[in-house]
Structure 1
Amino acid sequence: MESSKVIHAIYTDDDILMAAVKDVRVAKYHIDEVYTPFPVHGLDKAMGLAPTRLAITAFIYGCIGLTVATLMMNFIMIEDWPQDIGGKPSFSYLENLPAFVPIMFELTVFFAAHLMVITFYLRSRIWPFKDAENPDPRTTDDHFLMEISVDNNNEYAITELLKTTGAVEINLVDKAH
C-alpha cells in the first residue's frame, strides 16, 4: 500500500533550497516535487530529472510551419492566382523565393510558438478551469517548498535531515483526497 503522507519543507532562499535538494538526494530520499516562485537554475539537474524533449517538438513545429508556408505560397501565388506585383514574374516558386522569405520566417515562428504553448499546457496537464495544485500559496510569492513522500518507517529520519538543511518550516501532510 502506497503512503499518502508527504513532508513539506519550506525554504526562504533558493541557494539554501539547492543545497537541501542535494543533501536529500545524497541521503537517497526521493523528492516528489519542488514548488518555487520563479525558475531556479540547475534545480532540474539537482533533482535528477531527465532532460526535456520540448526543444525537439519546437523544431518539428517550426518545420511544419515552414512546410505550410511553402505549400500555401506556392498554391496561392503561383498556381491558383498568379499576379504581376511590381513587375516580378509569377512563373515559378523559385523565381519569387526572395519575396517569400519573410512569410516563411513568420509562419515558422508562429507555428513553433503557438503549438509549443499548446504542447506545454497538455504536457503539464493544465486545463481551462482546473483547480490549482499548489500546496502552499506562499510559493507563488517568496517561499520554496520541497515535497517528499514518507512512510511510517522513515518519517522521523526525513524530518531530522530536513531540519539540518535550513528549512524554516516542516509539515507532515496527508495528501488523501
Structure 2
Amino acid sequence: MEASKVIHAIYTDDDVLMSAVKTVKAEKHHIEEIYTPFPVHGLDRAMGLAPTRLAITAFLYGCVGISVATLMMNFIMIEDWPQDIGGKPSFSYLENMPAFVPIMFELTVFFAAHLMVITFYLRSRMWPFKKAENPDPRTTDDHFLMEIAVHNNEESLTNLLKDTGAVEINIVDKDEDAH
C-alpha cells in the first residue's frame, strides 16, 4: 500500500533543517514528524503547528494549588486547631494571611510543576514501559530526521530533499518500521 510509505530525510545541522522545512512546506508537502536531539527554536512555527495550550493548564494548576493552600491553612490553623504563635491569635484567616504567603506560593508552584509534568507525559503519550517511537537512534545524538508521507511522488520528493541539503534519504514502509 502506497500510503504507508514515508521518506526519512536526515540532516546534520539545525539551520539546514529549518531551511528544508520551509522549502518542503512551500512545496505543499505534509511533514508527518521531525525528530531532533534538542529543541530547535522556531521549528513548530515553520511546520505550521498550532500553539500549545500547556501554559493555560499551568495557570489553572497554579490556581488549584493556591486554592488548596488557602483551604488547608484556613482549616488547620484557624478552624481545627487555632494556636497563639508568637502572640498572634488566630481569630481569622485574613489577620494571619501575611504569615501564610510563603506556603501559598510554595503550593502554587508545587501543584503547577507536578501536574504539568503529568499532563505533558499524558499528552505526549509517554508512560512507563512504553517502547520508543524514534525511527533512527542517531536523532538522539547529532542528527535530525524529517518524516514525510509518500503519495506516488517519491522521485520528485527525493530530488527536493536532496536539494535542501539532506545527507541521507530513505524510503521506509511505516507498517514494518513500527517497533
The TM-score normalised by the length of structure 1 is 0.98
Residue 144 of structure 1: aligned partner:
144
Alignment match, 1:155: 154
CA distance in 1, matches of 2:38, 2:98: 42
Output the amino acid matched with 1:57.
T
Name the SS for the 1:74 alignment partner: helix
- Label 1:140 to 1:86 Cα distance change in 2 as closer, same or farther (>3 A): same
Q: After superposition, give the CA deviation of every residue in 1:95-125 in whole Å (9 maximum; x if it has no partner).
A: 0000000000000000000000000000000
Aligned partner of 2:174 in structure 1 is 175
Amino acid at match of 1:124: S
Q: Offset at 1:2?
A: 6.9
Q: Structure 2 stretches of 5 or more lacking a match?
A: none
| Aligned residue in 2 for 1:5 | 5
Q: Partner letter of residue 43 of structure 2? A: L
1:32 paired to 2:48: no
Residue 89 of structure 1 deviates from its aligned partner by 1.2
Matches within 5 A, 1:74-93: 74-93=74-93
Q: For residues 153 and 47 of structure 2, what CA distance do their matches in structure 1 show?
A: 20
1:119 alignment partner in structure 2: 119
User: How many residues are paired up?
Assistant: 176
Give the equivalent residue in structure 2 for 1:98.
Answer: 98
- CA–CA separation in structure 1 for the residues paired with 2:8 and 2:174: 11
Q: Determine the C-alpha separation between the residues in 2 that align with 1:86 and 1:13.
A: 62
Moved over 4 A (4+): none
Q: Deviations over 1:11-50 (max 9, x none)?
A: 0000000000000000000000000000000000000000
Structure 1: gaps (5+ residues) = none
| Aligned-pair identity (%) | 84
Q: TM-score with structure 2 length normalisation?
A: 0.97
CA RMSD, Structure 1 to Structure 2 (Å):
0.9
C-alpha distance in structure 1 between counterparts of 2:103 and 2:89, whole Å: 18
Task: Give 1:59-78 correspondences, 5 Å limit.
Answer: 59-78=59-78
Supply the distance in 2 between the matched residues of 1:41 and 1:85 (Cα, whole angstroms).
51
Q: Classify the secondary structure of the residue corresponding to 1:25.
A: helix
Matches of 2:171 and 2:96, distance apart in 1: 67
One-letter amino acid of the counterpart of residue 44, structure 1: D
- Give the C-alpha shift of residue 72 in structure 1: 0.2
